[in-house]
Structure 1
């Protein structure tokens, strides 16, 4: 992980700690190339967590947005999940 990415996650943890009571609902948003295996990999990362997952394909069909609403235990767990899905090729987290 590069320094800029590491600083982003440190700042995210601090902001989440200061703005939410934990455990708390958290909304992840990702964009992945439209590929069933990549979408499935995102869904599998949140398997057995009670997550509500919505997908929406872009107009041209090249990309799919994946929104995941899930109850997380702490800001550290939020960041751990971002790092877990970061290994999926072509994924964009926001």
Structure 2
């Protein structure tokens, strides 16, 4: 997730590249031990999962219908609270 100083820039980039509402693709790399925590945040959304060859990480892709850049940012902030998650 973007630092506070870059939040306005990230918000502008989202607005420049998307017409709201729309489907937005989220991608995360999650330590396997944190996978349930992340999945709980997206309980109602379809999730595609790919386990790493080592079995230590799972890559998740979610395409979610969102109404604004603020909704995208809020989802990134929720996931960034989970230790070890990498947002792509």
The bucket for the TM-score relative to the shorter chain is 0.7 to 0.9
List structure 1 runs of 4+ shifted beyond 2 angstroms. Answer: 7-10
Instruction: Summarize deviations over 1:24-83 as a string: whole Å, max 9, x none.
Output: 101111011112xx21221221223xx220111111111111111100110011001100
1:29 matched to 2:27? The reply is: yes
Over aligned residue pairs, what C-alpha RMSD do you find? Answer: 1.7
Q: TM-score, normalised by structure 1?
A: 0.83
Structure 2's unaligned 5+ residue stretches are none
Instruction: Summarize deviations over 1:11-32 as a string: whole Å, max 9, x none.
Output: 2211111121111101111011
CA–CA distance in structure 2, aligned partners of residues 39 and 64 of structure 1:
7
Q: TM-score, normalised by structure 2?
A: 0.88
The alignment covers a number of residue pairs equal to: 88
Structure 1's unaligned 5+ residue stretches are none
Could you tell me which of 62, 68, 88 is aligned with 2:82?
88
Residues 15-54 of structure 1: matches in 2 within 5 Å? 15-35=13-33, 38-48=34-44, 51-54=45-48
